[in-house]
Structure 1
Amino acid sequence: MTSAAESQRARFAALDPLLPPPSPLPPGVPLAAGGAAGTIAHVRFAAGSWQRLWSPAHLQILSAVLPREAGAGMSALLSAWRERIGRADAEPDSSCVLTWPSRDVVVARALLDHGLAPQLALAVRAPAGGEAYSVPGVLVRESTGGDLEEIVALRFEELHYTSFVGHGVVRPGAKALLAEEVRRGLQFGGRVWIAEEEGVTVGIVTSGKRSPIPGDSLAGRLPPGEWGYLGTLAVTAAARGRGIGRALTSVAHDELFSPSSRGTFVSYNPANPLSPVFWHRQGYRPLWTTWAASPAAALR
């Protein structure tokens, strides 16, 4: 292990006890500057794919190993990245992204100075059941096959909202893609909880269980073991502010809790005026933050 890798391992352990040891740099175009080393992976999502609802078509993903002076190392690496982008054509439907521990404020300063903005937070909650909470006149129940149309409608409303404050993109065929994703999630063990008032669906939350395995998106993000997760939480605009989201998550947390669980996790957009406050009140705190910038801005 190089001295920079050893330094990064020690920094991560000191920053947050839930951070797994840093993974080796993944394959990609090598980049080095200021004692820092990185790789840039290019990911392209096919037209009409599910991923394009939540991402630009083309991602440049930076992974980094930083020296002891982490802020200066990241700044140097971002400057080198900017120069490389400047030599290439900047695609309009693309983004430069980097995921980094949320508590590393020294590196966050470098990211902000270079024009990146926090786009997504992976937040965790200690293992616990949900505190009993209900809203008068609102029934929370597990979905059935007859709820598909209402679930998709709320998922689409959430996507539309996210397109203003986050990384959602309302593309042609979005509702059909959402319907297929809901079916697939239910088929592979996910659940959807429905909040219903006078027979009308006013909110949903999706949930399930996952364990980090090599090669998946959670590898290197969460410690090994079983984790519960809450996916999309959506409440109709007219029903917000009445505790319906809290009632939904309370039921989902109860269903996900087990003595062997490591906890639960969610992802939310830090710029969303509703999500961070809500999830922090439910006991979540950010572990990783994904930062992004448009290549057209050339990472100033």
Structure 2
Amino acid sequence: MLNVSSLTPAQLRACLDGPGLDFQTGPFVNRLHSNIPHLASGLALLYGDYPLRAAGGFADFHLNLSQPGGLRRWWRPQVRFEQDGRHPFKPLPVTQAQPFCEWMMNWCVSNRAHGYLVIHAAVVEKNGRGIILPAPPGSGKSTLCAALACRGWRLLSDELTLVRHGDGMLVPVPRPISLKNRSIDVIREFAPEAVFGSVVHGTMKGTVGLLRPPAASVHRAGELAAPHAIVFPQWEPDAPAVLEPTPRARLFMRVADNAFNYTLLGAQGFATLAGLAERSAGYTFKYSKLDEAMTIFDALAGNAP
């Protein structure tokens, strides 16, 4: 099967400028159009391992990130997002095209993928045990997820946990991990071999760096994972790593608060979330040092300390 790295830079730009680049992320086929040169090079770096799909076939999401022409192209150049003929968001500076693309792909899944319960959470797996990490911005969720991915855990997602209705299995949708501000340097120090795209300053989320996902996680995107635990992480300066159980009723409500489509799904959403809470141990987790966190998570995966 061909992947994005099979294309030469000229072929990649021709796809983006022409019929679109059709590539698969987990269960979704994305068709992306763009006339922004540095977005093409960013995709080549971050998405090289992702499988291509035949142009013109079915695509779940149709995305267009373009730089307007005319004077705007030279005076405060911008990138605008179009999805199925609509412009749901205001344009951003063109230098932010790569993180904008990631945010829009997340938006498409969280707003359209109602065949799943969609939770705002990172999710990783090791030894057949899926660990879900729901948390608000600033909790250290993505930093912890990136560290685990760099230490051999399979990345399912750093942002969106998809729970399949009926059997409650976790559906991988691995994509680049979005790190912000100080977290970028933390992971560079923790995992010097990690590959980042261009770091973008001045976004609405501060400085953003996208970490290329492990190739093995991309290649195993068709393999479901069984939920084992739901862990609510919180980074605190100088805090020792402490994992504390969460009562099951509290676990249900906290996950519901982090689900994008729980209310929309009605009874189906309740049943899926109830099954997830029943199958998963719940914890809160405070930490400051990634090495200590790795030891605790390896124990959760069934590895001997």
Structure number with bigger Rg: 1
Q: Give TM-score scaled by structure 2 length.
A: 0.22
TM-score by length of 1: 0.22
